Every structure is written in C-alpha cells, then in structure tokens.
Structure 1
Amino acid sequence: MSELILRNDTGHVVRLVLNSPKNFNALSAEMIAALYTTLASVSAEEDVRAIIIAANGKAFCAGHDLKQMQAARANLDRGRAGFAALFDGCGQLMQLISSLPQPVIAEVQGVATAAGCQLVASCDLGVAAKAAKFGVNGIDIGLFCSTPAVALSRAIPRKAAFEMLVTGKFITATEAARLGLINRVVAAEKLEAEAMELAQQIATKLPSAIAMGKRGFYEQLAHETSEAYEAAEDTMCANMLLAETDEGISAFLEKRKPAWAS
C-alpha cells in the first residue's frame, strides 16, 4: 500500500501531501492517525519553520470515509465507540495544527468537503486554486457536520458558516477568500509555487517569535474550543446513530436517493 502522507522538504519548509486519491484523500481513521503522527514529528524538528498540507488527485479531502463509518454499524453498539474514536481523533488532529509552533498552510487544489473543509479551516493559512470548492454538506445525507462546524465557525462569519451547514451548499474559492476561509486564490498551475512562496516568506522570520506569536494568537481568540469539540463529538455520534442517517449514507454509497419520510 502506498504511503498515506508524502513528504517533500525545501529549505526550512516541509510540504506534506495527502496521498489517498482513490478515496479522495478521505480522513479515515488511518489517515487521521498518519497525519497526526507526521505533523507531530515534523513540528519537533528544529529546522522546520513552516508546513504545507497539500493533496494528490482531484480532491483535497472529501471528509470522513463513509464506507468505514457504515461498517462500524455491525458492532454490538451499532458503531458508537467507533464513531466516538473517529470524531475524537479528528478533533485532536485539528487542535494539534493550531498548537504547532510552525504556521500550517493548506494548499487546496480541489474540493474540500465536510472534515476536509474542517481541515482547511483549522490550518493557519490557506491558498487555493480557482477551481477549488468548499462545503460542509453532510446534511445532504442526514448528518449535520457538527465537528467541522467548530473549525468553520471560528474561521468565517457565523451566519455564513451556518448557511453552509444547513444547506449543504458549496462555495467557490473566490467566495472562500472573501469570507476568510483561505487567504489567496491563484491559477491551478501557480498553486504549489504560491503556497511555497508564502511558506518561504514565513521561514525568513524569527522562529521563536513566530511560535510565540502563534500560540498567543490562538490563546486570545477563545478558550472553549476543546469543550466545543467534546460536545460536537457527542452530537455527531448521536446523529450517526439515527436510522435516517444510516439510510442517507447507504443511499449515497449506493448512488440513489435516500428513502426518507417526507
């Protein structure tokens, strides 16, 4: 099996590439663990001053692995323990990003949806190709994106975030930049160079000042994020256990409309 995370070093910048294009770089339990471990390891290297998260394939990240989630329903608890572990692991990953001493830049070449949009929102900075799209469309299959909402609602205005969450609509890269979800929109052929240029600019600054400043930046924003994730994880688990959500995800995987009561 190919490596889930590829690493490329350029000077003081490390570019990490999500490498599971066949399932659209889904944040499966394995991908979450691989990205968490890699980020924690890379951030401990003294020479690293900036980190880029990019992806191979058409999608940046299509959220959690729905097939993996549905398989957990075969357990005696109907999957609750598995859902809880998945959402907790994802929440820990997102919180890790803001706790790293180095700025983390999302380099978004394609669609970023649900937990994939959460990943973009959790990064410190973002650069996207013009064709990139962003959404938290779990509601379309009966699952409100409660945990992605934690990061999204802290990255863009509240009403804009809530509209995305309750309608499932996608926004363009231009709209994402206007709302503050990302910093820059560039042509696809310039994306990697633009993200690297931003990272290299950061890498010229005093590392200790960047680390201290980043820590202080997030400390002054809010203190309730971990508590918000705990509550959101419980909500996501309860939502996953609904029969309608089971049907919604099954319908999505089977490429049909869900048989919901009108």
Structure 2
Amino acid sequence: MVQSILSAVMKDETDPKLRCIVLTAEGNVFSGGHNLKHLAINDGRAVFEHFNVLMQKIIESPVPVIASVDGLAAAAGCQLVAQCDIAICTETSSFSTPGANFGVFCSTPGVALVRNVPRKLAAYMLFTGCPITAEVAQKHGLVSHVLKNHDELEREINRIIDTIKAKSRSVVELGKRFLYKQLDMELKMAYR
C-alpha cells in the first residue's frame, strides 16, 4: 500500500493540471499503520525506508496533499495525517500512536506528530498509546477541520479542491515551499 500511495503522489507531480492530492480510505479505518506481523517476517528497515520516502515526497510535492479522514488513523496512519498539508476529518475519527501497547515505540510517527501538536500531547499519545478524539486533534493542530459526518466531509474536501484550483499553481507551490522553509527554521531554533 505504501508503494501504491508513493506511486500516486509521484505520478503526476510535474503535470501542470495537477492542483492537489487527496488521500482517503474506504470504511471506518483511514490507516491502521504498518502490519507488525509483516514487519517481523520481512525486512522492517526496507518497509520504513519506503515509508520515509513517501513522507519526504509529501513535503516535496508541488501541490497540497490533503488527508480526508473518516475513522481511525493509528501509528503510521497518524503519521500520514500529520505529514499532510491539510487534514480534514469527521467527528467519529480518532488518532493514536499505539506502538507502546505492542512493545514497539512509535518513534517514526512521533517525529511528524511532534511537528504538529504540543509536546505534552505527543508524549501522552506516544507513551500511553491512547487515542485522541477528532475534537482534541483539531484543538491541538493535528487536523485542520472536523465535520459531522462522511457526507459533510466529502463536500468540504470538494470545496477545498475547488478553492485550490481557483488559485495559481505557481503561487500555491511557492507558498508550500515557504511553509516548509519556515518549519525547518523553527525546528533549528528549537533545538539550538
């Protein structure tokens, strides 16, 4: 699945008609994260390397990447939401980094999480594995907006897409580069 998403994100990044990318899922799970059994059987490093490439490509994408969440986003799924430029979800969505519950610390998801939410909330999520609600996720900056249900979510995503499409792609691309440059500067200042 990671390879499939990566291919989709990279597929048309030079196409001037591409204006934004929306990541969504069917059903009540946006993403449960990595399959721990799969990681134990296969080379987990290779899986994480592919996922890290995906995270970097989301940053490097010239267009906004939007997470449309209607359900659970756990571990790497929560990281995916945190990495997107915009995240919209339903009231019934929840977000967690439950690795500690399974004897694995969610260090990689923790990086994206700490860039989006205050340290105390990140610590709570990472150390306890307990999920947070959509309301808490919005209050602390993990998601941009919370909608009542799936229908409202779809309407809002379409409204956002139409709004972005009405703007100059080059201006949006410049703005995206500016945002990430500012984030890099803030992180460097925070860790001096």
TM-score range, shorter chain: over 0.9
How far the C-alpha of 1:224 sits from its partner, in A, is 10
> Where does residue 159 of structure 1 map in the other structure?
120
1:58 aligns with 2:28: yes
| Greater alpha carbon shift after TM alignment, 116-125 vs 185-194 | 185-194
Q: Superposition RMSD on alpha carbons, in Å?
A: 1.5
1:33 aligns with 2:3: yes
- For 1:146 and 1:87, the matched residues in 2 are separated by 11
1:199 aligns with 2:147: no
Residue 55 of structure 1: SS of its match in structure 2?
coil
> Where does residue 74 of structure 2 map in the other structure?
113
In structure 1, stretches of 5+ residues that fail to align are 1-30, 73-81, 226-262
Counterpart of 1:40, as a letter, is: M
Contact 1:60 1:108 in 2 (8 A): yes
- For 1:216 and 1:115, the matched residues in 2 are separated by 26
Structure with greater Cα Rg: 1
1:209 aligns with 2:171: yes
Q: TM-score, normalised by structure 2?
A: 0.92
Q: 1:105 to 1:157 in 2, by over 3 A?
A: same
Contact 1:105 1:199 in 2 (8 A): no
In structure 2, stretches of 5+ residues that fail to align are 188-192
Residue 167 of structure 2: SS of its match in structure 1?
coil
Contact 1:64 1:114 in 2 (8 A): yes
- For 2:67 and 2:10, the matched residues in 1 are separated by 17
Counterpart of 2:64, as a letter, is: P
- Aligned-residue identity in percent: 40
Counterpart of 1:113, as a letter, is: A
Counterpart of 1:201, as a letter, is: T
Match of 1:129 among 69, 90, 95: 90
- For 2:131 and 2:52, the matched residues in 1 are separated by 22
Aligned pair count reads: 186
- For 1:138 and 1:223, the matched residues in 2 are separated by 30
How far the C-alpha of 1:209 sits from its partner, in A, is 0.8
Runs of 4+ in 1 over 2 A off after TM superposition: none
How far the C-alpha of 1:67 sits from its partner, in A, is 2.4
- For 2:133 and 2:59, the matched residues in 1 are separated by 25
Residue 155 of structure 1: SS of its match in structure 2?
coil
> Where does residue 87 of structure 1 map in the other structure?
48
> Where does residue 99 of structure 2 map in the other structure?
138
Counterpart of 2:20, as a letter, is: A
